[in-house]
Structure 1
Amino acid sequence: MTEDSFTFFQYSSMNDLLTVILYSSQSLLATAPLLHHINHKNREILFIQTVGMGGNVVHYHVTKEIPKTKLVELKRLSGEFSFVGKIGSDALSMYVPILELEQSTFNFP
């Protein structure tokens, strides 16, 4: 797969990026994309990859600081989120791991 086969969407807020995860988890396929973190050209980037009818899409948000914990608690009903240190017992929340990447072939815009 070449980089030309990917579309990049940059979100202005973390909340918007996580809304994509929430929406994907409620789709017919019911899969939640993984959240990745990478430092790319001195920018802290959190991103997910999805596949849609138009092809492969990389959804990303440039953040000011590295997440201190490796999980995001995402409340399914409200869309509110928080960074947490462990999986909790809230059945109405989903817990999304943040996977740390050393490198990627993506050349973020």
Structure 2
Amino acid sequence: MTNLRYYDIIRSPVLTEKSTLASEENKIVFNVSSDASKPDIKKAVEALFSVKVKSVNTLVRKGKSKRFRGIPGRQSDVKKAIVTLEDGQSIDVTTGL
């Protein structure tokens, strides 16, 4: 049985044009918890998807100031992980878990 904490680390896959192009190079992009470390992300992806992870790169997209109906607000920061898989491994993120 997979640890339920892994579902807290991996929030959702990122489905954009840029992440789709990266998937051709065995790279998958996920939104992850802001306090997740690279080893935690690697363990979670390997456990949830049964694949071998080669490397994990992370980035934090800072939140933007926006206006909604004239009221100023702020989007929250988002941490993303770019997970590179070993050769021959693949994940189909469109089907879900």
Q: TM-score, normalised by structure 1?
A: 0.28
Compare the two structures and name the one with the higher strand fraction.
1
Greater C-alpha Rg = 2
Compare the two structures and name the one with the higher helix fraction.
2
Q: TM-score, normalised by structure 2?
A: 0.30
